[in-house]
């Protein structure tokens, strides 16, 4: 096992990784920006190295500074967390070529999956269902028109290099296609330095269902069931669950098998997530793979009992997975609410000093956060400051437990989205499991004050 791991991240995920390392007896190195001197991850790690000014570009995305921190601390391996450099294949390659272990998949798997067109080609070969649309890139307006007619409107034009919900355009009818196609191509070139675009049929009322996978360096790949992530606003997940209340046993077996096939196709190592869109008839289609740990990993940890961060580290160190597919059983239901420092309905960020922080506790409540009383949330980063996760025998009990946990949560001094969760958890459609990816935005329009 490693003697020391550097965590190239901040916030709750850096804290989560430090905790896992400590339980494994591994020393930890935090890197921090000038704005994060008093951050929880800076305080909790065994060692901490300042890597630059507040702006992410100059610190958490500053590869030379991170590599220098690894060098002076005698680090053995680097964990990238999520966001920042986690899906940057060039960074992974630099880490490996500098003689450190990268806690994640190979740069090659990251490159294939990081490009949506090459990912779709690999998935087609692996027999994973794809959203109907173009075979690979679409180069001309004429080709776009032909593909769109074949798939049937509405369609979505997507940038191959897109991410984080950017670089996509929905087109409802043929006359609107040429302009949308050109605009998407131009914008993709400007935003991602790659103007490759492709076309998919736009699914009108899908759910977002994703499959967690875990692979080791000995060719073993398992799935850890699915997560329901349809509660989204601006392509940002707000609340996640495992398992999905909508997915039948038969569909579960099929989508999880597709997840494993997807991971096998790129010789995947470590923790990864295959995202699918699912129609009301339970037909499902691959949209992309995230080659990193995800924010919502705790719901999967809770229903399976598998510590995903621990296993990311173990497989990176060369260990075999300690279980096979048959050993992984699903127990009960888990929900995660993301706690953001922002207005609950207007979504304006609310950085500043936390006067009082009281985390909920009690049976089957987990809080992964990076804040404390007296902490000042800097304005430079993501507004997510923590996550409340609950587990129970069934979904209904889990919702009740989350309601009481969210009621117990106290954060004063800054505004949080606590009230959004309170209202959402009480919503009859949410409680009935009757929603798709458009539900939250539609509901917000109705309740907007």
Catalytic residues: 292
Q: How far is the CB of 373 from ligand ADP (least distance, A)?
A: 35
Count CA within 13 A, CB hemisphere, residue 271.
Answer: 28
Q: Which is nearer to ligand ADP, 275 or 301 (CB)?
A: 275
Q: How far is the CB of 382 from ligand ADP (least distance, A)?
A: 15
If one asks whether residue 123 binds ligand ADP (CB under 6 A), the answer comes out as no
If one asks whether residue 131 binds ligand ADP (CB under 6 A), the answer comes out as yes
If one asks whether residue 200 binds ligand ADP (CB under 6 A), the answer comes out as yes
User: Exactly one of 64, 127, 152, 165 binds ligand ADP (CB under 6 A); which one?
Assistant: 165
Q: How far is the CB of 317 from ligand ADP (least distance, A)?
A: 30
Q: How far is the CB of 327 from ligand ADP (least distance, A)?
A: 30
d(CA 86, CA 293): 9
Q: Give the x-and-dash track for 202-241 against ligand ADP (CB under 6 A).
A: xx--x-x--------------------------x------
**Contact of 24 with 310, CB cutoff 8 Å:** yes
If one asks whether residue 287 binds ligand ADP (CB under 6 A), the answer comes out as yes
Residue 132's alpha-carbon distances to 165, 201, 287, 311, 322, in angstroms, are: 19, 6, 11, 35, 38
Nearest one of 210, 272, 274, 214 to 243, comparing CA atoms: 210
User: Exactly one of 8, 39, 156, 231 binds ligand ADP (CB under 6 A); which one?
Assistant: 156
d(CA 28, CA 75): 8
Nearest one of 222, 215, 210, 212 to 312, comparing CA atoms: 215
User: Exactly one of 136, 163, 178, 189 binds ligand ADP (CB under 6 A); which one?
Assistant: 163
Q: Which is nearer to ligand ADP, 260 or 274 (CB)?
A: 274
Q: Which two tokens stand for residue 211?
A: 């499959």
If one asks whether residue 119 binds ligand ADP (CB under 6 A), the answer comes out as no
**Contact of 75 with 100, CB cutoff 8 Å:** yes
DSSP summary character for residue 283: -
Q: Which is nearer to ligand ADP, 87 or 368 (CB)?
A: 87
Q: How far is the CB of 56 from ligand ADP (least distance, A)?
A: 18
d(CA 147, CA 269): 35
Q: Which two tokens stand for residue 210?
A: 């994703």
d(CA 172, CA 150): 14
Write the CB contacts of 363 (distance below 8 Å, at least 6 apart in sequence).
401
Q: Are strands 384-392 and 365-369 parallel, antiparallel or unpaired?
A: antiparallel
Site residue total, ligand ADP (CB under 6 A): 19
If one asks whether residue 259 binds ligand ADP (CB under 6 A), the answer comes out as no
Residue 280's alpha-carbon distances to 21, 29, 434, 435, in angstroms, are: 42, 46, 11, 10
Q: Which is nearer to ligand ADP, 101 or 436 (CB)?
A: 436
If one asks whether residue 289 binds ligand ADP (CB under 6 A), the answer comes out as no
Q: How far is the CB of 273 from ligand ADP (least distance, A)?
A: 10
User: Exactly one of 266, 437, 439, 440 binds ligand ADP (CB under 6 A); which one?
Assistant: 437
Q: Are strands 77-79 and 4-7 parallel, antiparallel or unpaired?
A: parallel
Q: Which is nearer to ligand ADP, 152 or 165 (CB)?
A: 165
Beta bridge partners of 29: 6, 47
Rama region for 127: left / alpha / beta (φ>0; ψ in -120 to 50; rest): left
User: Exactly one of 12, 115, 288, 296 binds ligand ADP (CB under 6 A); which one?
Assistant: 288
Q: How far is the CB of 268 from ligand ADP (least distance, A)?
A: 18
Q: Where along the sequence are the contacts to ligand ADP (CB under 6 A)?
A: 131, 156, 162-166, 168, 200, 202-203, 206, 208, 235, 275, 277, 287-288, 437
């Amino acid at each position: 096992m490693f003697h020391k791991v550097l965590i190239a991240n901040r916030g709750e995920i850096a804290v989560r990784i430090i905790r896992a390392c400590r339980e494994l007896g591994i020393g930890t190195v935090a890197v921090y920006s000038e704005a994060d001197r008093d951050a929880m991850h800076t305080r909790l790690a065994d060692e901490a190295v300042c890597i630059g000014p507040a702006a992410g570009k100059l610190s958490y995305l500053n590869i030379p500074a991170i590599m220098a921190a690894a060098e002076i601390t005698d680090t053995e391996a680097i964990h990238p967390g999520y966001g920042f450099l986690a899906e940057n294949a060039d960074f992974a390659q630099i880490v490996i070529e500098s003689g450190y272990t990268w806690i994640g998949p190979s740069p090659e798997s990251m490159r294939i999956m990081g490009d949506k067109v090459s990912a779709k080609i690999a998935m087609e070969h692996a027999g994973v269902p794809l959203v109907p649309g173009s075979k690979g890139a679409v180069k001309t307006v004429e080709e776009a028109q032909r593909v769109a007619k074949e798939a049937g409107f509405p369609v979505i034009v997507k940038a191959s290099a897109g991410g984080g919900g950017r670089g996509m355009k929905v087109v409802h009818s043929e006359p609107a296609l040429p302009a949308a196609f050109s605009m998407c191509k131009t914008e993709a070139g400007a935003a991602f330095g790659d103007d490759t675009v492709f076309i998919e049929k736009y699914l009108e009322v899908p759910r977002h269902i994703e499959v967690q996978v875990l692979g080791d360096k000995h060719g073993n790949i398992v799935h850890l069931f699915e997560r329901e992530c349809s509660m989204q606003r601006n392509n940002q997940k707000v609340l996640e669950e495992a398992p999905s209340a909508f997915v039948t046993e038969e569909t579960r077996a099929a989508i999880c098998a597709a997840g494993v096939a997807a991971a096998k196709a790129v010789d995947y190592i470590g923790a990864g997530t295959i995202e699918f869109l699912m129609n009301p008839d339970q037909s499902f289609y691959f949209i992309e793979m995230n080659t990193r740990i995800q924010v919502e990993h705790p719901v999967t940890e809770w229903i399976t009992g598998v510590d995903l961060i621990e296993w990311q580290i173990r497989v990176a160190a060369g260990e075999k997975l300690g279980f096979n597919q048959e050993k992984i059983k699903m127990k009960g239901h888990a929900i995660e609410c993301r706690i953001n420092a922002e207005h609950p309905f207007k979504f304006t960020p609310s950085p500043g000093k936390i006067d009082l922080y009281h985390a909920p506790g009690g049976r089957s409540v987990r809080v992964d956060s990076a804040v404390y009383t007296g902490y000042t949330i800097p304005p430079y980063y993501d507004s997510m400051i923590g996550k409340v996760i609950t587990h129970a025998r069934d979904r209904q009990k889990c919702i009740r437990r989350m309601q009481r946990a969210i009621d117990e949560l106290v954060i004063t001094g800054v505004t949080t989205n606590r009230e959004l969760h309170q209202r959402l958890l009480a919503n009859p459609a949410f409680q009935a499991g009757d929603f798709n990816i458009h539900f939250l935005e539609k509901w917000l329009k109705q309740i907007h004050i």
